[in-house]
Amino acid sequence: MKIRSLLCTLSLALALPLGLNAQPPGGGEKKEPETELGKHMDKIGGAFRALRRQIADATKNEDSLKRVATIKENAQAALKLEPAFKAKQPAGEQAKFVANYQAKMKDFIANADKLEAALKAGDNAAAAKLCDALNDDQKAGHKEFRPPQKKKG
């Protein structure tokens, strides 16, 4: 009986520190502060991910056009905002940083307009290429205008 009590106490003593180190729900990672620009970018990202999965399917062009409209609407709103990463730039380069951001957003919107036209024309092959170009624009923009993301792992 004493051995059973001792084993039970020992196992609880070993398990307690493990429970204290458990991460809270959501991984316990620090997230970037939520900004208005971030909210628009999240909406763009959600619509874009769905669009990329269905862009080649001509039967889904109506839904694809709705997703492009969401992308364009949020990109137009994002164009009027400034990235929070601007504050991390040297004071003398902040205006240039914002001007570059706005120029890239205008290019992104122009490509979204071309994508919309291709979908309306039923040219899904061209739409797929434009979708790839938008993806490249997105990756380059995130690299340039967003703080570096910490690697998980």
pLDDT tens for 31-78 read: 555 889 999 999 999 999 999 999 999 999 999 999 999 999 999 999
In this prediction the pTM is 0.74
Higher-pLDDT residue of 4, 10: 4
Higher-pLDDT residue of 83, 14: 83
Name the percent of the chain lying above pLDDT 70. 76
Higher-pLDDT residue of 32, 92: 92
- Give dist(CA 100, CA 105) in Å, integer: 9
Count of CB atoms situated within 10 Å of the CB of 53: 11
Higher-pLDDT residue of 135, 17: 135
State the DSSP string of the chain. Answer: -HHHHHHHHHHHHHHHHHHHTPPPTTTTPPPPPP-HHHHHHHHHHHHHHHHHHHTT-GGGHHHHHHHHHHHHHHHHHHHTS--GGGGGS-GGGHHHHHHHHHHHHHHHHHHHHHHHHHHHTT-HHHHHHHHHHHHHHHHHHHHHHSPPPPPP-
- Flag whether pLDDT at 7 surpasses 80: no
- Give dist(CA 114, CA 125) in Å, integer: 13
Contact between 41 and 70 under an 8 Å Cβ cutoff? The reply is no
Confidence (pLDDT) at 6: 47
Domains and CATH numbers, the chain: 33-145 (1.20.120.10)
Confidence (pLDDT) at 130: 94
Confidence (pLDDT) at 2: 60
